[in-house]
């Protein structure tokens, strides 16, 4: 019985001791202190660009790239003598891409787009001028399309993600502390 009383006394004493300790609550900040979180780093992908200017360039670049790609793949199945219209459309699309001013953050992407488009147009021109065979044309065009599907797609994907971030940052903007 004394053992039981000791045990109950020990449990009650321990419970009172733990209850007295309580939980440690973090001290609150005084109401007059405002904490401003650090700005989100935009990184090198979209530095030097405004959202509207990047969006305008992106729309044109992605549309021209898709159109040129579809045109050149369709032209691979046409006879040499029927290529003049396709060469004209490819040339117009490339000229459109060349005349579009690229924002600072899209300079690398624009160069990455223009290189394969120019190479494809050059290959078709050489084939039309009977300087290369159809097999050589197909090999060159498919190699450049691989570049479009990897390198150019990666550039455009990075810029699209950066564009989303730019819009988010531009629409959220700096906020004034409460009471001001």
Number of domains in the chain: 1
pLDDT digits (tens, 9 = 90+) for 146-176: 999 989 888 888 888 887 777 677 676 554 4
Residue 59 lies in a domain: yes
Residue 44 lies in a domain: no
Residue 162 lies in a domain: yes
In whole angstroms, what separates CA 12 from the centre of its chain? 63
Q: Note the helical H segments in the chain.
A: 2-21, 51-75, 84-99, 107-128, 134-147, 153-172
- Reply yes or no on whether the pLDDT at 177 is more than 80: no
Residue 15 lies in a domain: no
Whole-angstrom distance, CA of residue 180 vs CA of residue 177 = 6
Between 24-28, 78-82, 142-146, the lowest mean confidence (pLDDT) is in 24-28
Residue 40 lies in a domain: no
Residue 174 lies in a domain: no
CB atoms within 10 A of CB 94: 18
Between 15-29, 46-60, 94-108, 112-126, the lowest mean confidence (pLDDT) is in 15-29
Residue 57 lies in a domain: yes
Residue 161 lies in a domain: yes
pLDDT digits (tens, 9 = 90+) for 85-144: 999 999 999 999 999 999 888 888 999 999 999 999 999 999 999 999 999 999 999 999
CB atoms within 10 A of CB 17: 9
Structural domain containing residue 74: 51-169
Q: Provide the whole-model pTM.
A: 0.67
Per-residue confidence (pLDDT) for residue 176, from 0 to 100:
43
Q: Residue 83 maps to which CATH number? A: 1.20.120
- Token pair, residue 112, equals 């990455």
């Amino acid at each position: 019985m004394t053992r039981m009383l000791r045990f109950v006394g020990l449990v009650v004493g321990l419970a009172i001791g733990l209850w007295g300790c309580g939980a440690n609550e973090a001290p609150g900040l005084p109401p007059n202190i405002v904490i401003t979180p650090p700005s989100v780093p935009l990184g090198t992908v979209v530095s030097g660009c405004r959202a509207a200017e990047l969006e305008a360039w992106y729309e044109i670049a992605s549309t021209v790239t898709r159109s040129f790609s579809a045109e050149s793949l369709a032209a691979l199945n046409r006879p040499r003598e029927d290529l003049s219209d396709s060469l004209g459309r490819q040339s117009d699309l490339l000229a459109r891409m060349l005349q579009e001013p690229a924002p600072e953050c899209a300079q690398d992407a624009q160069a990455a787009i223009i290189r394969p488009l120019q190479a494809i147009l050059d290959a078709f021109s050489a084939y039309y001028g009977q300087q290369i065979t159809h097999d050589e044309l197909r090999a060159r065009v498919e190699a450049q399309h691989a570049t479009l599907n990897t390198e150019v797609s990666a550039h455009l994907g990075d810029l699209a993600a950066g564009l989303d971030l730019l819009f988010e940052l531009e629409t959220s903007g700096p906020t004034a502390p409460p009471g001001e």
